Amino acid sequence: MSFDKHILITGGAGFIGSHVVRRMLIQYPNYLVVNLDALTYAGNLENLRDMEDLPNYRFVKGNICDAALVTTLFEENQIDTVIHLAAESHVDRSITDPLAFVQTNVMGTATLLNAARQYWGGDYAGKLFYHVSTDEVYGSLGETGFFYEDTAYDPRSPYSASKAGSDHLVMAFFHTYHLPVIISNCSNNYGPNHFPEKLIPLSIHNILQKKPLPIYGKGENVRDWLYVIDHASAIDTILHRGKIGETYNIGGHNEWTNIDLIRLLCRLMDEKLGQDTGSSEQLITYVKDRAGHDLRYAIDATKLKDELGWVPSVTFEEGLSRTIDWYLANPEWLAHVTSGDYLNYYEAQYSRR
């Protein structure tokens, strides 16, 4: 079979990566998608169960830091495009284990960049290294202002510092070797397949279990939330129409303090579960603040709108409602993730092949 593009997606079994893999496979049956994922605790192949027999899809369990494996994948699959999402992604984990973040986010990105440089050998026609990054590289805002593409980097957690390091390496390969790269920096995502360690899925899970909803500090920190399926559509737009060497901010102009967000979530959960209004809110529990907790993130995504015409497709209430519906419709997914059973899926599924 011949394909119009040969794409290596890293971290495709994770939250955002699984939506990007899905979108590429569905929208572009003429693209080969090779999904390289180490299946850490955050990687879950159940996210892609209905995709795994497609003729244009290959899953490879492996580490992006493994230079020999990455080089082999480029050669065997004639990779011309990389969409790089694999990362350690949770700020709280980066506070307890920073070196894991440096290893995967910095060394892993350097390994991929170097493999692309060597395999493409300076013949960059039709090639692209697309690096998926975060708005957290810009640091923390006060009560006003936004992050723009030219905002100076000022990362403040081991997570955001390691992502900033990866962004700098991507741009260094652009300037030094002319490697064709694009970076996008996106705000906080939410939606289906989100591991229940992050604020929104953790809270949905805890409401279902009638467990406390931990709010760090006073709940006044602000995040700018984007529906993950809109992030995948923005990546698709930028992949096909973005300019080499450019950075694009992705966001939905959708700022919420954590406490207001959790109150909205509680109200929606009460409605959907047929509970008395206020039942879920009673679970809210203020806990010790996160060390170095960034106060506010807010993206200005005007460049993406003006230059490439991309805007989000759903409002926050709609996206949050769809997200809750997905968790309610997929209790098995949540049960497997919380029990650890999803870690057995790879063995069960792929040992048969």
In whole angstroms, the minimum distance from the beta carbon of 261 to ligand NAD comes to 14
Question: In the window 162-181, what residues touch ligand NAD (CB under 6 A)?
Answer: 163
Which of 28, 57, 130, 159 is labelled catalytic? 159
Choosing from 136, 149, 224, 255, the catalytic residue is 136
Pull the structure tokens for residue 331. Answer: 């209790």
Site string for ligand TYD, 164-203 (x = CB under 6 A): ------------------------x---------xx--x-
Q: Are 224 and 52 in contact (CB under 8 A)?
A: no
Q: Which stretch binds ligand NAD (CB under 6 A): 13-21, 213-221, 266-274, 323-331?
A: 13-21
Select from ligand NAD, ligand TYD, none the partner in contact with residue 258, using the beta carbon and a kind-dependent cut-off of 5 to 8 Å: ligand TYD
Neighbouring CB atoms inside 10 A of 16's CB total 23
Q: Which of these ranges, 81-89, 110-118, 140-148, 202-210, lies near ligand NAD under the rule CB under 6 A?
A: 81-89
Which among ligand NAD, ligand TYD, none contacts residue 202 (Cβ within 5 to 8 A by kind)?
ligand TYD
Among 113, 132, 181, 304, binds ligand NAD (CB under 6 A): 132
Q: Which stretch binds ligand TYD (CB under 6 A): 63-71, 213-221, 302-310, 330-338?
A: 213-221
Are residues 147 and 135 in contact, defined by beta-carbon separation less than 8 angstroms? yes
CB 158 within 8 A of CB 99: no
141 binds ligand TYD (CB under 6 A): no
What is the nearest approach in angstroms of ligand TYD to the Cβ of residue 298? Answer: 12
Structure tokens at 118: 């060597």
- E strands, 13-56, in order: 31-37
- The distance of closest approach from Cβ of residue 16 to ligand NAD in the complex, given in angstroms and rounded to an integer, is 3
Taking CB under 6 A as the binding criterion, the range among 61-69, 168-176, 290-298, 320-328 that sits at the site for ligand NAD is: 61-69
Q: Where are the alpha helices (DSSP H) in 243-330?
A: 258-273, 302-308, 316-329
Residues in the chain: 353
Among 8, 11, 141, 229, binds ligand NAD (CB under 6 A): 11
**How far apart are CB 38 and ligand NAD at their closest, in Å?**
3
Q: Collect all residues with Cβ–Cβ distance below 8 Å to 278 and sequence separation of at least 6.
A: 266, 270
**Candidate list 37, 46, 88, 135, residue with the active-site label:** 135
Q: Is 136 a catalytic residue?
A: yes
User: Tokens standing for 325?
Assistant: 């519906």
Give the separation between CA 260 and CA 219, rounded to whole angstroms. 8
Closest CA to 86 of 32, 27, 162, 181: 162
Contact residue for ligand NAD among 35, 81, 89, 323 (CB under 6 A): 89
Contact 155, 137 (CB under 8 A): yes
* CA separation, residue 217 to residues 188, 248, 330 (Å): 19, 32, 31
Q: Is 215 in contact with 288 (CB distance < 8 Å)?
A: no
**Residue placing its CB nearer to ligand NAD in the complex, 46 or 283:** 46
Active-site residue flag, 135? yes
**Rounded to the nearest 5°, which phi and psi values hold at 286?**
-80, 130
In the chain, beta strands by DSSP E: 5-10, 31-37, 57-61, 81-84, 128-134, 181-186, 188-190, 213-216, 222-227, 247-250, 255-257, 284-287
Member of 215, 238, 269, 283 binding ligand TYD (CB under 6 A): 215
Among ligand NAD, ligand TYD, none, residue 221 binds (CB under 5-8 Å by kind): ligand TYD
Out of 216, 270, 303, 336, the residue judged to bind ligand TYD by CB under 6 A = 216
Residues serving a catalytic function are 135-136, 159
Give the residues lining the site for ligand TYD (CB under 6 A).
91, 188, 198-199, 202, 214-216, 221, 223, 258, 290
